Amino acid sequence: MTSKPQYIALLNDIRLQENRAGVYLEAWANTTDNKDLKECLSFVAAREYSHGDIFERRVKELGFGNEEIEDPEFDEKVRVVSSDISDADKIAWLKESRSRQATPSVRERYEIATDDESVDPLTRSLLRWFTDVENDSVVKMGGVYAQIENAG
The mean pLDDT of the chain is 96
41-65, pLDDT tens digit by residue?
Answer: 999 999 999 999 999 999 999 999 9
The domain segmentation of the chain, as residue ranges, is 7-151
7 close to 61: Cβ distance less than 8 angstroms: no
Distances (CA, A) of 151 to 75, 108, 131, 146: 29, 32, 30, 8
CATH code at 7-151: 1.20.1260.10
pLDDT at 76: 97
46 close to 25: Cβ distance less than 8 angstroms: no
pLDDT at 2: 65
pLDDT at 152: 73
Low-confidence ranges of the chain (pLDDT < 50): none
